[in-house]
Structure 1
């Protein structure tokens, strides 16, 4: 007997998911979407299947603001093994070469300090970065090497958690677009022995932390009627922006795509979170494009069901 298709809901909010090992970000997203029977969903930055940790999932109208987390700084706990180089930069690859590990913790700390700040990275072939519509890892699996342009990223902090002589655990805080596998390989080359990742766990994204997240298993165990309580309101994605509150008449025009006059004196191109006076309902984002005038930038559908 054919199982009835579940009716999708217009639920909106942000779920902080702890992505499991060996599961793609898209598979984790689809599972979370199914558990909420959400009509629309998107994530805020891909994690490799072999990486685990914080994956914010946006449901419904929250997807309109997901780009603010895509651009946010990210934190990771990386486990780096020295003395070998692999084809993929992690445990899954074949060993290309081995060299002895002869440095001590002092030398390791000195090299880590050299990578803090703006650096240049060449994206790895085993990555989801696309070339002519196909991810690079598909070319890599076919034995085809594609020339990649170096990109500038920023390593805000590298903190050594532990080192046993051959493997180090390092906390990394970095800008968007950073490849931690490439960072591990570059650190290994700077120490003249090579290195690869044996573990990677995302611990922070923007202002969110792993401690706030929930696993798919735990989410599935929550009764369906109680799951919405786990969602954060969509405006947490833009909490770093200043806010402005509109009277109902102003908000009505604003929601229809019309610019409205405001009393605030501020610089042009400044963006605001916009709320309705009485209910503190989040209306969307506005931008000051001329003095004293707030123009709609991204609006929340009036019918959106939010937690």
Structure 2
């Protein structure tokens, strides 16, 4: 009987909050970070288009188990809409499919913003990762197909006009999961009768990670020149945030070492303490500051669903 293959790389865990540059894909960024850290596992929490820059949270090791909690978080984008052209991709990359000489007045722009605040119905772009009959929409669009993508509800918590010029306008949006900023630009242009597309897009926040936690890719690449491997990896590891930071919006349950041992064996534990919740659908549990598990509390017991090493 053959032995199971030993995973390649180090069992390093944590979150790197990458400041992704333009013209660098999200999958490409994950591969680069995984290689730099010599990590066994890596994944990102929310794709950024190649033409977009900014925050791309990348999980290493056990932190990949917490990716869904970051993907569900609020996001903030700063973006520029250029008027006069609608493009096939709703950004600079695509072909011009509609054009207009009309340009909106600043007040006209302000007047439509309430229509895009709250829970709204949005049709994702043709060039998006939405699956249609098992195929990615962007693959079908690249093959020349025009597909019917159903609308879906997304939530816009805040939408601000930062400034307006003759040919473009600058915005900031705080939104929920699944919102396509390119679709906002497209729909603004249609509503204003002048057409529009994204000409600049930057993500500045992915809950719970603040903008000041971002690390430019150039800073990471610069560490490649450090010849001593241990020194280089230590410098990279110092840039990671603890896995537990991705769970800051969940209730917290402190455990004793005995309880942590039982949970790591897959067993529930009785929840004690005056401040312990009686019922909770999702809770993260720690022992001595280290993440042990994510689970639920029901009938006075914590039951683990995901256990961490």
| TM-score, length of structure 2 as denominator length | 0.91
Match of 2:286 in 1: 275
- Do 1:202 and 1:210's aligned partners in 2 also have CA atoms closer than 8 Å? no
- Do 1:21 and 1:52's aligned partners in 2 also have CA atoms closer than 8 Å? yes
Q: 2:302 aligns with which of 294, 300, 305?
A: 294
* Separation in structure 2 between the aligned mates of residue 260 and residue 249 of structure 1, nearest angstrom: 10
Match of 1:73 in 2: 74
1:181-260 pair list within 5 angstroms = 181-222=182-223, 223=226, 224=232, 225-260=234-269
- What stretches of structure 2 of length at least 5 have no aligned partner? 1-6, 227-231
3-state SS of 1:77 partner: strand
Match of 2:277 in 1: 266
3-state SS of 1:208 partner: coil
Which stretches of structure 1, 4 residues or longer, exceed 6 Å deviation after superposition? none
State which drifts further: 236-245 or 32-41: 236-245
* Separation in structure 1 between the aligned mates of residue 89 and residue 295 of structure 2, nearest angstrom: 44
- Note the C-alpha offset of 1:111: 1.1
State which drifts further: 99-108 or 69-78: 99-108
- Note the C-alpha offset of 1:240: 1.1
Per-residue CA deviation, residues 35-80 of structure 1 (Å, 9 max, x unaligned), is 0000001100111111111000000000011100111111111110
* Separation in structure 2 between the aligned mates of residue 103 and residue 219 of structure 1, nearest angstrom: 42
* Separation in structure 2 between the aligned mates of residue 273 and residue 85 of structure 1, nearest angstrom: 46
1:69-218 pair list within 5 angstroms = 69-218=70-219
Per-residue CA deviation, residues 255-288 of structure 1 (Å, 9 max, x unaligned), is 1110111124534343222111xx3222121311
Root mean square deviation of aligned Cα: 1.6
Match of 2:51 in 1: 50
Match of 1:305 in 2: none
- Do 2:263 and 2:293's aligned partners in 1 also have CA atoms closer than 8 Å? no
Match of 2:229 in 1: none
* Separation in structure 1 between the aligned mates of residue 168 and residue 15 of structure 2, nearest angstrom: 36
* Separation in structure 1 between the aligned mates of residue 67 and residue 211 of structure 2, nearest angstrom: 18
- Do 2:83 and 2:103's aligned partners in 1 also have CA atoms closer than 8 Å? no
Per-residue CA deviation, residues 82-121 of structure 1 (Å, 9 max, x unaligned), is 1211111111111122212343111111112221111101
Per-residue CA deviation, residues 7-57 of structure 1 (Å, 9 max, x unaligned), is 610000000001111111000000001000000011001111111110000
* Separation in structure 1 between the aligned mates of residue 133 and residue 119 of structure 2, nearest angstrom: 28
* Separation in structure 1 between the aligned mates of residue 208 and residue 256 of structure 2, nearest angstrom: 30
- What stretches of structure 1 of length at least 5 have no aligned partner? 1-5, 302-307
1:97–1:286 distance in 2 versus 1, CA, 3 Å: closer
